Amino acid sequence: MDKVLVFGGTRFFGKDLVRTLIDNKYDVTIATRGLTKDDFGDKVKRIAIDRDNKEALKKAFKDMSFNIIYDNICYSPNGALSVCDIFKGKVGKYVFTSTLSVYDGGLNLKEEEFNPYNYKIKFGEREDFSYNEGKRLAEAVFFQKATFPVVAVRFPVVIGEGDYTKRLISYAENIYNEIPFFVDNLESEMSFISSQEAGEFLHWISTKDFKGPINACSNGTIKIKEIIAMCEEKLNKKWIADERDKGITGAFNGFYRHTLSNEKAKELGFQFKDIHKEVESNILRRLK
């Protein structure tokens, strides 16, 4: 039975990953601060720890090794470097959850459009960098410093049950409650992936003979105007448009021309779901 460690397995797609691992009979240990309770019972082991405390990590994992480590909560180059040191010779593959935000923007972005292998490393903690830069630098450290195989999974916005940001569902909520909101660009085009699919992909890619960065997103793209139209149809309500300086703003304002290509993952054999069906499923959940 393969031993796996999951950093961050008690919220959102981390929970979906852990459920998938349990279903596939892995020996699962989850490592979090212990602030969020889980419902996995005796199906997992637990370690309460601060992911950003290198000394605590070194002590906790001194005599432990794993076939696979999934890291959903690394946001800095220092955080990446610490585990490169601690798990040297102690892990078969390291799967790091990265983000579409490592790219500068554009449509149908491919993996080679950000190259972490030659990105100049600057060290620092999470608070020293923007989210985007922290993830870029973490990737750079993993791919330039790790002595074990690393996969960096670049996700777009993740949607689904348990989404504590409620960004997608806020469109349905506001339209249903007839709350006006401002949208800066109805033609904004986006990629998404569901939390369930994200969890399944993280497990799936760890079983493949693959290392390096890889994009993962649902098939197709969707525009903000399509999300609004879908909400209006399913809720039988009309969006009340607001001016910029009044009311509230759409949750995805500022997302312009930012979509991923998932061709590499599909060539490896993963079958993604359709983005429009995934968005519709989330909106319909609002009706329940």
**Model confidence pLDDT, tens digit, residues 198-255:** 999 999 999 999 999 999 999 999 999 999 999 999 999 999 999 776 778 999 998 8
Whole-number percent of the chain with pLDDT over 70: 99
Q: Are residues 228 and 141 in the same domain?
A: no
Average pLDDT of the residues of the chain: 94
Q: Are residues 186 and 124 in the same domain?
A: no
pLDDT band at 256 (very low <50, low <70, confident <90, very high): confident
Q: Are residues 43 and 13 in the same domain?
A: yes
Q: Are residues 277 and 210 in the same domain?
A: no
Which domain does 66 fall in, by range? Answer: 3-157+194-215
- The identity of residue 65, as a single letter, is S
Length of the chain in terms of residues written: 288
d(CA 214, CA 209): 13
The distance of Cα 90 from the centroid of its chain, to the nearest Å, equals: 25
Q: Are residues 253 and 135 in the same domain?
A: no
Q: Are residues 133 and 61 in the same domain?
A: yes
273 secondary structure, DSSP code: P
Q: Are residues 211 and 268 in the same domain?
A: no
Total structural domains within the chain: 2
Q: Are residues 74 and 148 in the same domain?
A: yes
Q: Are residues 37 and 96 in the same domain?
A: yes
Pairing of the two strands 222-223 and 192-194: unpaired
d(CA 179, CA 249): 11
pLDDT tens digit sequence for 6-65: 999 888 899 999 999 999 999 999 999 877 888 899 999 999 999 999 999 999 999 999
Q: Are residues 114 and 176 in the same domain?
A: no
Q: Are residues 175 and 210 in the same domain?
A: no
- To the question of pTM greater than 0.85 for the whole model, the response is yes
Q: Comparing C-alpha atoms, which of 219, 237, 217, 221 is closest to residue 229?
A: 237
Q: Comparing C-alpha atoms, which of 54, 52, 50, 47 is closest to residue 5?
A: 47
